[in-house]
Amino acid sequence: MPRFAANLSMLFTEVDFTERFARARAAGFEGVEYLFPYAYPSDLLARLLNDNNLTQVLFNLPPGDWDAGERGIACLPDRVEEFRAGVDQALDYARALGCRQLNCLAGLRPATLDEDTAWQTLVANVDYAAERLAAEGITLCLEAINSRVDMPGFVLDTSGKVMSVIEELDGSNIRLQYDLYHMQIMEGDLIRSLECLLPWIGHIQFADNPGRHEPGTGEINFSNVFAAIDGMGYEGWVGAEYRPSAETSDTLGWFDGWS
Ligand SMILES: O=C(O)C(=O)[C@@H](O)CO
Ligand SMILES: [Mg+2]
């Protein structure tokens, strides 16, 4: 049965961030993920996980200046030092939170940066991060994010591009983060793709499309997709990363039967 995690950057935003852990547990989740832990002391987050008997499933490496629109710095040649410092910071949090997977955001390619340099920088940074994480038994995820609607210019916008990085590096702890929402926009054919890519998938996330709301608000047949994920023996977590169209507790109908 898929193990579902609540994404606390998107779910339960009716309450303060630190209160969302208890809400997630009360709703039946056993794991949580969120964008970034860095605004909070790691001991506070560790206590919230422990008090609510929750697993920290995933968070992202530092992304650069998120509020200014940056979406990762891994492809930027003039930010390599900052990227490496971010790996240190993320590892400190991962140790404190017992988190076994970190996601590396590739970043947006500026018009002034040529594709080849962006790609070589990305591959070198991923190689560095994967090696650092491997020493601690942690997996590095690379998420493919749609460049049609949400992140124009995002360097890794297809599962094929993520697979190219994985193949180029041959890193045993590098995995694809397969977000059903982004992949529905860019590629479709979700169940067949999941089956083909399964050995390389480290983490799955979902939202319906269009709108990025809860299952049932768009075009994806989630009963079938979740049943397929269950049937193919996927052993990782599945993160509910959607914008609730109503009070979060009123959007959890999809969870019935899986919790
Ligand atoms: O936007 C998404 O999709 C995400 O998963 C963010 O957490 C960025 O990785
Ligand atoms: Mg995602």
- Beta carbons of 235 and 6 less than 8 angstroms apart: no
For the chain, which residues make up each domain, given as ranges? 3-255
pLDDT tens figures, 26-67 = 999 999 999 999 999 999 999 999 999 999 999 999 999 999
Name the amino acid, one letter, at 190: L
Contacting residues for 115 by C-beta, under 8 A, at least 6 apart? 109
ipTM for the assembly: 0.96
Asked whether the beta carbons of 233 and 194 are under 8 A apart, the reply is: no
The architecture CATH gives domain 3-255: Alpha-Beta Barrel (3.20)
Distance CA 30, CA 49 (A): 10
- Is any ligand 1 atom within 6 A of the Cβ of residue 58? no
Determine whether the shortest distance from the Cβ of 35 to ligand 1 is under 6 A.
yes
Q: What pLDDT does 40 receive?
A: 98
Contact 138, 94 (CB under 8 A): yes
Quote the pLDDT of residue 159. 98
For the chain, how many helices (H) and strands (E)? Answer: 8, 8
What pLDDT was estimated at residue 170?
Answer: 81
> What's the one-letter identity of residue 178?
Y
| Cα-to-centroid distance, 43 and ligand 1 (Å) | 24
Tell me if 122 sits within 8 A of 104, measured CB to CB: no
Whole-number Å distance, alpha carbon 241 to ligand 2 midpoint, is 6
Where the chain has pLDDT below 70, the residues are: none
